[in-house]
Amino acid sequence: NVINGGSHAGNKLAMQEFMILPTGAANFTEAMRMGSEVYHHLKAVIKARFGLDATAVGDEGGFAPNILNNKDALELIQEAIKKAGYTGKIEIGMDVAASEFYKGSNVYDLDFKTANNDGSQKISGDQLRDLYMEFCKDFPIVSIEDPFEPS
């Protein structure tokens, strides 16, 4: 768990957890090393882009930069994986916890943490599915937990 959003962090990210999975590791020791190296590279990437204050962590130990766009979180992780030299060896998982930002009537509010927001980030379930498909096309995502409201 390397980037926190949703109910686990005070930033604007709707999606709750972004994780790395060292699927290319030969054993547990190597997986731990790979994960640790990417985590430290991610801290450096976030610090370079947003400043030291952005390297605070959320409730689950992932960084919590104040970004709104979930794709930005994936780009930060992908850059850290590349800088660590693990492209193709580390994949990405997400725990979206979509029920946290589900507003009923097939509406998901990706800006639910902003009080009285303008509604521009509200999307339908179909649009959310399309967003996941875009993420899977652009990033090495192998797992999406709780992608929709389980009604």
Domain count, the chain: 1
At residue 150, the pLDDT reads: 87
Domain span holding position 121 = 3-145
In a domain, 151, yes or no: no
Cα-based distances in Å from 87 to 13, 36, 38, 81, 92:
25, 15, 11, 6, 11
Residue 102's DSSP bridge partners are 108
Neighbours of 97 (CB within 10 A): 19
Asked if 110 and 123 count as a contact pair (C-beta separation under 8 A), the reply is: yes
pLDDT tens for 42-87 read 999 999 999 998 999 988 899 999 898 999 999 999 999 999 999 9
At residue 151, the pLDDT reads: 75
CATH of the domain at 65: 3.20.20.120
In a domain, 43, yes or no: yes
Contacts of 24 (CB under 8 A, 6+ apart): 34, 86, 88, 89, 90
Place of tokens 């999606």: 15
Look up residue 89 and give its two tokens.
């060896």
pLDDT tens for 1-17 read 999 999 989 899 999 99
Which one, of 79, 71, 53, 50, lies nearest residue 121 by Cα?
A: 71
